[in-house]
Amino acid sequence: MKTRIRQHLHTLQDLQQRFIDSQTESLLQAAQWITESFRQGNKLMIMGNGGSAADAQHIAAEFVNRFLLDRPPLPALALNTDTSILTSIGNDFGFERIFEKQVLALGTAGDILLGISTSGNSPNILKGFQAAREKEVRTIALAGHDGGAMVSRADLSLIVASDQTPRIQEVHAFIGHLLCELVETAFFSADDIGSPYA
């Protein structure tokens, strides 16, 4: 069991290092896009299924509440959290359209849509990206494996090159925290940050 734990740690560290070595510029680009969107009064929408839905909620919470700094909230929302919307769309039109219809309803030009999928092939994520194009919303894919079909649908891709879903999800959490820290640091200067906001 100790050997298994060490193997897990080494695999995770290797994946994190390989991501940073190969995709730092893409990560910085994603952070810049999100920062610019917030500065222009736009928002970040995030979508995911299963564990990736939890990641979407986690990232949205870090932006709306705080990450490392006590600062004003930033406009982010996870599209997988409203059960009435999800079940009504799923029931009436099919589960593959649960994000598409929300992006069409809520997306405005200048927004950012972050889609999270370990396979890179989730049909509802792909339809969400398709809807984003109609609304002139920039898209960022956070995927695993080789990125799947999301790569051709997204404006920018961040890919964890692994076929192990748990390891992909662990690196996705790492990437989500990096995005939060980069955006928070870029958006707020020391003069902007005071005591905790109510």
CATH number belonging to the domain at 2-188, selected among 1.20.1540.10, 3.40.50.720, 3.60.110.10, 3.40.50.10490: 3.40.50.10490
d(CA 27, CA 37): 15
Q: pLDDT tens digits for 35-74?
A: 999 999 999 999 999 999 999 999 999 999 999 999 999 9
3-state helix, strand, coil in the chain (%, to 5): 60, 15, 30
pLDDT at position 189: 63
Q: pLDDT tens digits for 68-115?
A: 999 999 999 999 999 999 999 999 999 999 999 999 999 999 999 999
Q: pLDDT tens digits for 14-35?
A: 999 999 999 999 999 999 999 9
| Token pair of 118 as six digits | 């370990």
**Which is it for the CA torsion 48, 54, 55, 60, positive or negative?**
positive
pLDDT at position 190: 45
Strand pairing of 112-117 and 44-48? parallel
pLDDT at position 187: 87
Query: For the chain, what are the domain ranges?
Result: 2-188
Cβ pair 34, 187 in contact under 8 A: no
In which element (H, E) is residue 137 found? Answer: none
Average pLDDT of the residues in 118-138: 97
Q: Evaluate if residue 193 carries a pLDDT over 60.
A: no
